């Protein structure tokens, strides 16, 4: 018996050719079917020293898809969450894992140190990374093509913060003569310190900066640091904090009976967080933070608040405005880019991100756009003051919910 | 400036007394059972969470919660020794190390599952009050915690000095074979000792939770701190543990006041290195 190899080979080739032609005709359909879902890796510190802040951002991520759908984005978003435990080294590993599991874009991470590490991974892998919150300026100075930041740099944050401090003194007709600056010594804190060193001398605040005191954000006890700050005799305490240390700081100030004219945060988390209000009660009032905030007149803000209230009925939006607001915007930026790119290819998404212009947004400032370095320069700060357990906008005057009170009442003059 | 240093030193001394009580438990366990409790810090964070639970459920002040928490920790320590550690007492040290590190990991992750990662503490009514003596301002909670730590330490010293059981435990520590020959139930005494050490750390946890926040991740840091204090004071020396706790508390505070606050821990480690170099048996430890 002989094998009819010649005819079998011809048949095989005919069949293979038919399959190839069918596949080629069907390919656009296959590609467009594949491009309908965008996998977004959300990297946040949901445990460790930044746990509360990361969880606050995660809640924003949890409602982001619904916000995008309500705004008319016709894309499917699948979130892949990862906790980097407030550990910079772990953030890199988590980013790599998310990418290997199919993330088309990354969003996060709240922390500047982690943002730097994740940016390197994103750039190497060609996966766009949209930063929700991280201020270290060097992140967008590396020439990266796949990193985009919808948040201030530290110099922008501090510049805005110092201008608002001057406006605060003008609005309240006060003239403090000196200040002391306490700050965390992590990447974010040191970036803010560098910005203060550079910008404070030319800010014309009329206050001598008597000392800068660095401390570990994971410190269990800040009694010595607060005692050192108190010993300077400064009129105003300026701070760059995280959350747990902000609580420790105010507690120590009360215990050590230190009553400066005010506690002013030129731009960092801590003093306006829900946990800060819940833990300190009346002692949380009158602290001032100059930072980005939601536009109370934006319909997107109202939409986010409504969806938030349905999803988290026992946790008011007001305690999470900045963290959730920027996280929702970061995911919205991803959805917007995906809709325009029509592809999950990293380069296509990055090209689409570069052409972003989003008018309908949550946070105060100009429409979301990125410059050649991937930085959004249109975000503005508001002056917030804690009043009766909530952060209220007190400046600029046209957005103010109530007038500022400065100097702050003493610790024992705050009622029950 | 001198007011700053005086305030720092006094606050540091008060905190150091609580550290000393924490380390006392470790010293008691090692001095008698000759097992190094690598789960010491994790047991303390467990006690801190116990104080928080009692405060939330029954509005118990941690100073009052010390008693039930100490009893609970005693029972935990007793059964840990009797049920688990006893069979490792005569085994090589590295197996003891692995066993207790495993216990530590279980405790940390159990606390993470039960309580989550967020920092917690107990807010007593007087948490933010302070006493002023001239230019010196001291927290009420710190003073109360220090007094309680001294009282518990004194009770422990009195127990080992004057009670029959305490003398029996000291006999085991001094001469294991001799204790067996005279008919002491060594296994039971070891378990008692481990229980007493755990009760000490439980008490220290109740006091510390008034001063600092607790997270599950802090356990290893406290274990390390306890080790440093016990080594500086002298392994097995109860007075040494208390003295070293005081020194570490003051050095941390003064380092922060004199130099950079964020480098406080560096001076604690420097102290450890100096002791190891010049007096390796510890300040009050016996020369081998």
Q: What is the total count of domains within chain A?
A: 2
A225 vs B: CB within 8 A: yes
Residues of chain A with pLDDT under 70: 1-35, 415-416
Are A64 and A174 within one domain?
A: no
B288 lies in some domain: no
Are A133 and A254 within one domain?
A: no
* Strands (DSSP E) found in chain B: 130-133, 136-139
Q: Are B74 and B196 in contact (CB under 8 A)?
A: yes
Q: Residue B131 phi/psi, 5° resolution?
A: -105, 140
CB contact under 8 A, B11 and A223: yes
Question: Residue holding tokens 């965390």?
Answer: A184
Return the pLDDT at A415.
67
Neighbours of A87 (CB within 10 A): 20
Are A190 and A303 within one domain?
A: no
Q: How far apart are CA A331 and CA A68, in angstroms?
A: 8
Are A321 and A340 within one domain?
A: yes
Return the pLDDT at A416.
59
User: DSSP secondary-structure letter at B285?
Assistant: P
Percentage above 90 pLDDT, chain B: 57
* Entry field: residues in chain B: 288
pLDDT in tens, B85-129: 888 877 888 888 899 999 999 999 999 999 987 788 898 989 889
Are A68 and A146 within one domain?
A: yes
CA dihedral sign of residues B66, B68, B72, B75? positive
Q: How far apart are CA A272 and CA A234, in angstroms?
A: 23
Contacts of A257 in chain B (CB under 8 A): 130, 132, 137
B33 CB contacts (<8 Å, ≥6 apart)?
B81, B85, B89, B190, B193, B194
Tell which residue, B239, B230, B232, has the closest CA to residue B276.
B232
Are A280 and A164 within one domain?
A: yes
Are A164 and A214 within one domain?
A: yes
B11 vs A: CB within 8 A: yes
Q: Are A202 and A223 in contact (CB under 8 A)?
A: no
Name the residue among B12, B116, B256 with its Cβ closest to that of A225: B256
Q: How far apart are CA B171 and CA A138, in angstroms?
A: 64
> Which is it for strands A37-44 and A105-108: parallel, antiparallel or unpaired?
parallel
Are A285 and A308 within one domain?
A: no
Return the pLDDT at B256.
84
Residue numbers of the domain that contains A166? 155-291+382-399
Describe the crossing of helices B238-258 and A223-231 by its angle, rounded to 10 degrees.
40
Residue numbers of the domain that contains B163? 15-118+127-217
B128 vs A: CB within 8 A: yes
A221 vs B: CB within 8 A: yes
CB contact under 8 A, B118 and A220: no
Are A251 and A391 within one domain?
A: yes
User: DSSP secondary-structure letter at A409?
Assistant: P
Return the pLDDT at B179.
80
A89 lies in some domain: yes
A377 lies in some domain: no
Q: Are B13 and B250 in contact (CB under 8 A)?
A: yes
Cα–chain-centroid distance for residue A237?
A: 24
What is the chain B residue with the closest CA to A247?
B213
Contacts of A247 in chain B (CB under 8 A): 213
What is residue A369's three-state secondary structure?
Answer: coil
Q: Does residue B66 surpass a pLDDT of 90?
A: yes
Q: How far apart are CA A59 and CA A325, in angstroms?
A: 10
CB contact under 8 A, A215 and B262: yes
Question: Structure tokens of B12?
Answer: 């540091």
The pTM of the full predicted model, rounded to 2 decimals, is 0.80
pLDDT in tens, B147-206: 999 999 999 999 988 998 888 888 888 777 888 888 888 888 889 999 999 999 999 999
Return the pLDDT at A319.
87
B8 lies in some domain: no
Q: Residue A60 phi/psi, 5° resolution?
A: -60, -40
Rounded to the nearest angstrom, the minimum Cα separation between B203 and chain A is 19
Name the residue among B116, B118, B253 with its Cβ closest to that of A224: B253
DSSP track, A155-218 = HHHHHHHHHHHHHHHHHHT----EEEEEEE-SHHHHHHHHHHHHHGGGS--S-EEEEEEEE-TT
Tell which residue, A46, A26, A38, has the closest CA to residue A109.
A46
Question: Structure tokens of A16?
Answer: 């293979």
Are A265 and A214 within one domain?
A: yes
B263 lies in some domain: no
Are A196 and A285 within one domain?
A: yes
Contacts of A256 in chain B (CB under 8 A): 7, 130, 137
Question: Structure tokens of A36?
Answer: 């309908």
What is residue A48's three-state secondary structure?
Answer: coil
Name the residue among A51, A228, A255 with its Cβ closest to that of B139: A255
Contacts of A227 in chain B (CB under 8 A): 4, 7-8, 257
Name the residue among A225, A255, A283 with its Cβ closest to that of B130: A255
A52 vs B: CB within 8 A: yes
Task: State which H helix or E strand residue A290 sits in.
Answer: strand A288-291
B65 lies in some domain: yes
Are A387 and A277 within one domain?
A: yes
Tell which residue, B63, B242, B38, has the closest CA to residue B157.
B242
Q: What is the total count of domains within chain B?
A: 1
Whether the complex's predicted ipTM surpasses the cut of 0.95: no
A348 vs B: CB within 8 A: no
CATH code, domain carrying A201: 3.40.50.2300
């Amino acid at each position: 018996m002989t094998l009819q190899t010649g005819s079998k080979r011809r048949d095989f080739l005919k069949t293979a050719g038919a399959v190839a032609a069918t596949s080629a005709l069907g390919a656009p359909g296959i590609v467009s079917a594949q491009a309908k879902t965008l996998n977004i890796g959300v990297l946040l510190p949901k445990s460790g020293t930044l746990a509360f802040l990361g969880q606050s951002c995660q809640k924003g991520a949890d409602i982001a898809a619904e916000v995008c759908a309500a705004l008319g984005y016709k894309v499917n978003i699948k979130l892949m969450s990862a906790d980097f435990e407030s550990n910079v080294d772990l953030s890199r590993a988590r980013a790599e894992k998310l990418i290997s599991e199919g993330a088309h874009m990354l969003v996060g991470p709240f922390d500047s140190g982690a943002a730097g590490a994740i940016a390197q991974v994103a750039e190497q892998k060609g996966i766009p990374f949209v930063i929700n919150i991280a201020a270290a300026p060097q992140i967008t100075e590396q020439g990266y093509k796949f990193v985009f930041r919808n948040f201030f740099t530290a110099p922008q944050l501090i510049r805005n913060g110092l201008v608002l401090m001057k406006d605060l003194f003008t609005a309240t007709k006060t003239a403090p003569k000196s200040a002391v600056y306490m700050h965390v010594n992590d990447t974010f804190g040191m970036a803010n310190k560098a910005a203060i060193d550079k910008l404070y001398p030319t800010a014309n605040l009329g206050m001598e900066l008597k000392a800068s005191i660095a401390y570990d954000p994971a410190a269990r006890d800040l009694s010595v640091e607060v005692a050192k700050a108190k010993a300077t005799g400064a009129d105003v305490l300026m701070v760059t904090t995280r959350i747990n240390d902000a609580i420790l700081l105010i507690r120590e100030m009360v215990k050590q009976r230190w009553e400066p004219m005010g506690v002013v945060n030129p731009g960092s988390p801590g003093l306006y967080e829900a946990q800060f209000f819940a833990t300190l009660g009346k002692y949380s009032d009158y602290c001032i933070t100059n930072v980005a905030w939601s536009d109370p007149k934006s319909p997107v803000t109202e939409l986010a608040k409504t969806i938030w209230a349905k999803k988290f009925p026992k946790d008011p939006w007001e305690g999470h405005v900045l963290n959730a607001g920027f996280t929702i915007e970061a995911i919205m930026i991803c959805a917007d880019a995906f809709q325009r790119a029509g592809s999950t290819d990293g380069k296509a998404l990055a090209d689409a991100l570069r052409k972003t212009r989003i008018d309908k947004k949550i946070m105060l400032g100009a429409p979301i756009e990125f410059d050649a370095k991937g930085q959004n320069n249109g975000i503005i700060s508001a002056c917030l003051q804690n009043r009766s357990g909530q952060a209220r906008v007190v400046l600029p005057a046209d957005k103010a919910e109530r007038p500022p009170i400065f100097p702050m009442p003493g610790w024992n003059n705050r009622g029950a | 400036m001198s007011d700053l240093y005086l305030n720092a030193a006094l606050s540091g001394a008060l905190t150091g007394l609580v550290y000393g009580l924490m380390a006392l438990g470790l010293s008691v366990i090692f001095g008698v059972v000759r097992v190094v409790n690598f789960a010491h810090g994790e047991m303390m964070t467990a006690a801190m969470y116990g104080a928080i639970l009692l405060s939330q459920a029954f509005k118990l002040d941690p100073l009052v919660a010390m008693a039930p928490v100490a009893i609970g920790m005693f029972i935990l320590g007793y059964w840990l020794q009797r049920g688990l550690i006893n069979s490792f007492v005569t085994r090589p040290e590295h197996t003891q190390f692995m066993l207790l590190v495993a216990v530590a990991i279980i405790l940390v992750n159990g606390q993470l599952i039960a309580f989550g990662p967020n920092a917690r503490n107990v807010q007593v009514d007087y948490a933010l009050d302070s006493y002023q003596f001239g230019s010196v301002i001291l927290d009420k909670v710190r003073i109360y915690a220090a007094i309680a730590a001294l009282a518990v330490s004194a009770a422990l010293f009195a127990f080992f000095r004057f009670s029959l059981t305490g003398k029996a435990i000291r006999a085991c520590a001094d001469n294991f074979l001799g204790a067996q020959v005279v008919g002491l139930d060594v296994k039971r005494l070891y378990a008692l000792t481990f229980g007493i050490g755990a009760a000490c750390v439980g008490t220290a946890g109740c006091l510390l939770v008034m001063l600092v926040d607790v997270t599950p991740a802090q356990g290893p840091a406290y274990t390390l701190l306890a080790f440093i204090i016990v080594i500086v004071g002298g392994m097995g020396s109860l007075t040494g543990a208390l003295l070293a706790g005081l020194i570490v508390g003051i050095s941390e505070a003064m380092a922060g006041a004199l130099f950079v606050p964020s480098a406080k821990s560096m001076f604690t480690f420097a102290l450890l290195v100096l002791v190891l170099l010049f007096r390796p048996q510890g300040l009050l430890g016996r020369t081998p």
